[in-house]
Amino acid sequence: MKFSEFKQLFFQLFSEKKDVNGAAIAGSYARAEQKPDSDIDAVVFCLDPQKYLINRSWVKQFGEVEKVMPERWGPVHTLRAFFKSGLEIEFNFCTLDWAEIPADSGTHRVVSDGFEILYDPTGQLLRLKNEVSRKD
Protein backbone atom coordinates (compact mmCIF):
# COMPACT_ATOMS: atom_id res chain seq x y z
CA MET A 1 0.00 0.00 0.00
CA LYS A 2 1.33 3.41 -0.94
CA PHE A 3 1.45 6.04 1.77
CA SER A 4 -1.05 8.24 -0.09
CA GLU A 5 -3.49 5.31 -0.15
CA PHE A 6 -2.92 4.70 3.55
CA LYS A 7 -3.61 8.35 4.42
CA GLN A 8 -6.82 8.37 2.42
CA LEU A 9 -8.08 5.14 4.00
CA PHE A 10 -7.00 6.25 7.49
CA PHE A 11 -8.79 9.59 7.07
CA GLN A 12 -11.95 7.98 5.69
CA LEU A 13 -12.12 5.35 8.40
CA PHE A 14 -11.63 7.61 11.39
CA SER A 15 -13.14 10.93 10.26
CA GLU A 16 -16.51 9.18 9.87
CA LYS A 17 -16.55 8.01 13.51
CA LYS A 18 -18.62 10.20 15.82
CA ASP A 19 -16.30 9.53 18.77
CA VAL A 20 -13.14 10.60 16.90
CA ASN A 21 -12.11 14.24 17.25
CA GLY A 22 -8.78 14.19 15.45
CA ALA A 23 -6.29 12.19 13.40
CA ALA A 24 -2.67 12.81 12.46
CA ILE A 25 0.52 11.22 11.16
CA ALA A 26 3.71 11.67 13.19
CA GLY A 27 7.39 11.01 12.67
CA SER A 28 9.31 10.32 9.49
CA TYR A 29 6.27 10.01 7.23
CA ALA A 30 4.97 13.38 8.46
CA ARG A 31 8.37 14.89 7.62
CA ALA A 32 8.49 13.06 4.25
CA GLU A 33 11.81 11.52 5.36
CA GLN A 34 10.71 7.90 5.62
CA LYS A 35 13.01 5.05 4.67
CA PRO A 36 11.97 1.68 3.24
CA ASP A 37 11.93 0.13 6.72
CA SER A 38 10.14 3.05 8.46
CA ASP A 39 6.87 2.38 10.21
CA ILE A 40 3.88 4.68 9.84
CA ASP A 41 2.98 6.46 13.08
CA ALA A 42 -0.75 7.19 13.00
CA VAL A 43 -2.54 8.96 15.84
CA VAL A 44 -6.27 8.85 16.55
CA PHE A 45 -7.78 11.23 19.11
CA CYS A 46 -11.00 9.73 20.42
CA LEU A 47 -13.34 9.71 23.38
CA ASP A 48 -12.68 6.06 24.29
CA PRO A 49 -9.36 4.58 23.09
CA GLN A 50 -10.29 1.17 24.57
CA LYS A 51 -13.03 0.80 21.96
CA TYR A 52 -10.43 0.48 19.19
CA LEU A 53 -8.02 -1.59 21.26
CA ILE A 54 -10.58 -4.24 22.17
CA ASN A 55 -12.32 -4.60 18.81
CA ARG A 56 -9.44 -4.74 16.32
CA SER A 57 -11.44 -5.82 13.26
CA TRP A 58 -10.82 -2.40 11.65
CA VAL A 59 -7.07 -3.18 11.34
CA LYS A 60 -7.78 -5.62 8.48
CA GLN A 61 -8.82 -2.72 6.26
CA PHE A 62 -5.13 -1.82 5.89
CA GLY A 63 -4.01 -5.22 4.61
CA GLU A 64 -3.51 -8.84 5.56
CA VAL A 65 -2.46 -8.83 9.19
CA GLU A 66 0.47 -10.92 10.38
CA LYS A 67 0.36 -9.85 14.04
CA VAL A 68 -0.76 -7.00 16.27
CA MET A 69 1.04 -6.05 19.49
CA PRO A 70 -0.37 -3.70 22.11
CA GLU A 71 1.97 -1.12 23.67
CA ARG A 72 1.56 1.79 26.06
CA TRP A 73 3.32 5.17 25.98
CA GLY A 74 2.00 7.10 28.97
CA PRO A 75 -1.53 8.20 28.09
CA VAL A 76 -1.20 6.82 24.56
CA HIS A 77 -2.38 3.29 23.82
CA THR A 78 -0.78 1.70 20.77
CA LEU A 79 -1.51 -1.19 18.47
CA ARG A 80 1.60 -1.99 16.46
CA ALA A 81 0.36 -3.85 13.39
CA PHE A 82 2.59 -5.94 11.15
CA PHE A 83 1.20 -6.79 7.73
CA LYS A 84 2.16 -9.63 5.40
CA SER A 85 3.20 -7.01 2.83
CA GLY A 86 5.99 -5.93 5.20
CA LEU A 87 4.22 -2.73 6.19
CA GLU A 88 4.33 -1.79 9.87
CA ILE A 89 1.83 0.71 11.27
CA GLU A 90 1.79 2.05 14.80
CA PHE A 91 -1.82 3.01 15.52
CA ASN A 92 -1.80 5.31 18.54
CA PHE A 93 -5.00 6.16 20.43
CA CYS A 94 -5.52 8.84 23.05
CA THR A 95 -8.00 11.45 24.11
CA LEU A 96 -7.71 15.03 22.96
CA ASP A 97 -6.28 15.83 26.41
CA TRP A 98 -2.92 14.75 24.92
CA ALA A 99 -3.04 17.92 22.80
CA GLU A 100 -3.52 20.35 25.69
CA ILE A 101 -1.54 23.58 25.69
CA PRO A 102 1.01 24.03 27.09
CA ALA A 103 2.29 20.73 25.76
CA ASP A 104 4.21 18.45 28.07
CA SER A 105 7.74 17.46 27.02
CA GLY A 106 6.66 14.17 25.40
CA THR A 107 3.91 15.78 23.36
CA HIS A 108 6.23 18.62 22.37
CA ARG A 109 8.84 16.13 21.16
CA VAL A 110 6.32 14.16 19.06
CA VAL A 111 4.84 17.26 17.43
CA SER A 112 8.19 18.94 16.75
CA ASP A 113 9.53 15.72 15.19
CA GLY A 114 6.88 15.84 12.44
CA PHE A 115 3.12 16.05 12.82
CA GLU A 116 0.77 16.09 9.83
CA ILE A 117 -2.83 16.81 10.78
CA LEU A 118 -5.37 14.86 8.72
CA TYR A 119 -8.56 15.55 10.66
CA ASP A 120 -9.09 18.32 13.20
CA PRO A 121 -12.74 19.36 13.57
CA THR A 122 -12.11 21.20 16.87
CA GLY A 123 -8.95 23.02 15.74
CA GLN A 124 -7.09 21.79 18.85
CA LEU A 125 -4.41 19.93 16.89
CA LEU A 126 -3.61 23.00 14.80
CA ARG A 127 -3.40 25.15 17.95
CA LEU A 128 -0.99 22.60 19.45
CA LYS A 129 1.15 22.45 16.32
CA ASN A 130 1.31 26.25 16.13
CA GLU A 131 2.24 26.52 19.81
CA VAL A 132 5.03 23.93 19.45
CA SER A 133 6.34 25.66 16.29
CA ARG A 134 6.32 29.01 18.07
CA LYS A 135 8.42 27.61 20.95
CA ASP A 136 10.96 25.82 18.72
Task: Write out pLDDT tens, residues 10-68.
Answer: 999 999 999 999 999 999 999 999 999 999 999 999 999 999 999 999 999 999 999 99
* Residue 6 clears pLDDT 90, i.e. is over it: yes
Whether pTM > 0.75 for this model: the answer is: yes
Query: Residue 129 domain-assigned?
Result: no
- Structure confidence by residue, pLDDT tens digits, 70-108: 999 889 999 999 999 999 999 999 999 999 999 999 999
Query: Residue 133 domain-assigned?
Result: no
What is the Cα–Cα distance from 63 to 73, expressed in whole angstroms?
25
Let me know if 45 is exposed, middle or buried by CB neighbors in 10 A (0-12, 13-18, 19+): buried
Query: Residue 130 domain-assigned?
Result: no
Query: Residue 125 domain-assigned?
Result: no
3-state SS, residue 77: strand
Mean pLDDT score across all residues of the chain? 95
What is the Cα–Cα distance from 34 to 104, expressed in whole angstroms?
26
Query: Residue 39 domain-assigned?
Result: yes
Query: Residue 75 domain-assigned?
Result: yes
CATH number for the domain including 55? 3.30.460.10
Domain that holds residue 66: 3-98+105-120
Residue partners of 33: CB distance under 8 A and separation at least 6: 114
Number of domains forming the structure of the chain: 1
Query: Residue 26 domain-assigned?
Result: yes
Query: Residue 116 domain-assigned?
Result: yes
- Structure confidence by residue, pLDDT tens digits, 45-61: 999 999 999 999 999 99
What is the Cα–Cα distance from 8 to 105, expressed in whole angstroms?
30
